Chains A and B, each alone.
Chain A
Amino acid sequence: MSEAAYNFAYLDEATKRMIRRALLKGLAIPGYQVPFASREMPMPYGWGTGGVQVTAACLTPEDCLKVIDQGADDTTNAVSIRKFFERTAGVATTEHTAEASVIQTRHRIPEQALTEGQILVYQVPIPEPLRFLEPRESETRRMHALEEYGLMHVKLYEDIARHGAIATSYAYPVKVEGRYVMDPSPIPKFDNPKLGGNAAIQLFGAGREQRIYALPPYTQVVSLDFEDHPFEPSKADHDCDLCGAAQSYLDEVITDDRGGRMFICSDTDFCASRRADGLRGRLSPEEAA
């Protein structure tokens, strides 16, 4: 049961109404950053207070919540947010992507395709994709209003001139429905193709920056690129050493001090589910014995 000292899901009803109105306008204008009055949450800003407020505004008592940080359910950040909502909203929680109705994430999109009825909530540190070009909010707002995205393309093209490819590998900017350029939060660009045409509702919350934005299901989302340098959702050129997956995003893990290393799925639920199905990788402990 939730504690009587808190309102359901911690936030008071007036705050939830304000966040809910911002979420609906976000859905009506895909990719546009809606200002909202972010509240102090009982956790530091770096811990995803924007995502937490969006989740709090969306949860119903019947929801089943999953929280991931870099793909993992068991990091300190993910565990503490999960516990926060177990305590304040009394909701069920899970580590299985398919069982969750609401998934709060930092830095990954689950490997398993999401379905209708699911909501993916992103924790966003810097919502403004034009920030590195122009620090003034009034100016970036103008640039979005006028679709002044030329400088963004120039920056990406400078990458190509310098590195032979676009060097940005996280928070790779996208264009939504041919209109707003949007920061997808620091997900690896490997995840970018999952932003578009997704059956789930995707909601983005930036606490410190006080912005909410959204992608309705099946929204057209295109990673910015050039005809002669098309977007490539790269990943490490390996299979997962634990489950053998060839198409999942991998973390490189140092295994000893002699340069030993292994590649494992960053999505821990995806990897564990494959292993439970009997799938094995190069270094699976069961086979090393």
Chain B
Amino acid sequence: MDHAEILAGGFDDPAAQSARAFRACLEAMARPGRIQPITGAAPPAPISPAAGAVLLTLVDTTTPLYLAPSQDTQATRQWIAFHCGAPIVPAEEAAFALGAWGALQPVSRFAIGTADYPDRAATLIVEMPGATPPSARLAGPGIETCHEACLPEIAAFAANRTQFPLGFDCYFSAGSQLWALPRSTNVEAL
């Protein structure tokens, strides 16, 4: 990856584009399982444009990042170093984590917060092959009755829910699509 490629792929108009990308992140976390379009980032493969936009919007020098083996290349490290400046750390120390679901295992390594500070928990950005087909029925805060969504598995998220108010929170990314699963959501297989 040459220098020009590292410099490319960020937001051209950071204030406006990160504001729009954050609204997608906000709507996604507020309405679990609902797919939000999110654009503006062009990170190097295998990071999706959606995951790239989340990184540009939320991750910086103050948020240690775990890069799972699936997304850990010289090019992705350089791009993240230039555009976010996040220190790359082991899973246990991460505020954010990026990777395919399998590469993020075991997810029991990630911070779930403490009883006094449940917010000190990791946010996982899970790269997905697609946003369909739906595999889970979701219910809980943010969902009027129930909502169907594509998740990489069921058991890990059901177990995460039992720890509430502790637990990790997840974004899922595929192409330019983003959806989320906070720790508060009840998950069952379709």
Interface residues of A (CB under 8 A from B): 7-9, 13-14, 16-18, 20-30, 32, 34-35, 57-62, 116, 119, 141-142, 145-146, 177, 179-180, 199, 201, 214-220
In the complex, which residue of chain B has the Cβ closest to the Cβ of A179?
B165
Interface of A is mostly: mixed
Q: Is A8 a contact partner of B30 (Cβ separation < 8 A)?
A: no
Interface residues of B (CB under 8 A from A): 14-16, 18-20, 22-23, 25-27, 29-31, 57-60, 62-63, 115-119, 121, 123, 140-144, 164-165, 169, 182-184
Q: How far is the CA of A141 from the CA of B142 in the complex (A)?
A: 25
Q: Is B121 a contact partner of A30 (Cβ separation < 8 A)?
A: no
Chain B residue contacts of A34, Cβ below 8 A: 119
In the complex, which residue of chain B has the Cβ closest to the Cβ of A221?
B141
Given contacts A216-B30, A218-B141, contact A145 B18 (CB under 8 A): no
Q: How far is the CA of A73 from the CA of B115 in the complex (A)?
A: 40
Q: Is A8 a contact partner of B115 (Cβ separation < 8 A)?
A: no
Q: Is A141 a contact partner of B116 (Cβ separation < 8 A)?
A: yes
Which of the residues B60, B62, B123, B141 comes within 8 Å of A216, measured between beta carbons?
A: B141
Chain B residue contacts of A7, Cβ below 8 A: 15
In the complex, which residue of chain A has the Cβ closest to the Cβ of B119?
A25
Q: How far is the CA of A18 from the CA of B63 in the complex (A)?
A: 10
Which of the residues B57, B121, B141 comes within 8 Å of A20, measured between beta carbons?
A: B57
In the complex, which residue of chain A has the Cβ closest to the Cβ of B96?
A21
Q: Is B18 a contact partner of A217 (Cβ separation < 8 A)?
A: no
Q: Is A30 a contact partner of B15 (Cβ separation < 8 A)?
A: no
Chain A residue contacts of B144, Cβ below 8 A: 199, 217-218
Q: Is B19 a contact partner of A219 (Cβ separation < 8 A)?
A: no
Chain B residue contacts of A26, Cβ below 8 A: 119
Given contacts A25-B169, A29-B118, A216-B141, contact A9 B19 (CB under 8 A): yes
Q: How far is the CA of A2 from the CA of B85 in the complex (A)?
A: 28
Q: Is A218 a contact partner of B23 (Cβ separation < 8 A)?
A: no
In the complex, which residue of chain A has the Cβ closest to the Cβ of B183?
A28
A123 to chain B, nearest CB (A): 19
In the complex, which residue of chain A has the Cβ closest to the Cβ of B170?
A28
Which has the most chain B C-beta neighbours within 10 Å: A13, A24, A142? A24
In the complex, which residue of chain A has the Cβ closest to the Cβ of B14?
A13
Q: How far is the CA of A59 from the CA of B18 in the complex (A)?
A: 10
Given contacts A7-B15, A61-B16, A145-B115, contact A29 B26 (CB under 8 A): no
9 A/B residue pairs, CB under 8 Å, sorted by A = A17-B60, A24-B58, A29-B119, A32-B118, A60-B20, A61-B19, A145-B115, A179-B164, A217-B30
Which has the most chain B C-beta neighbours within 10 Å: A23, A28, A199? A28
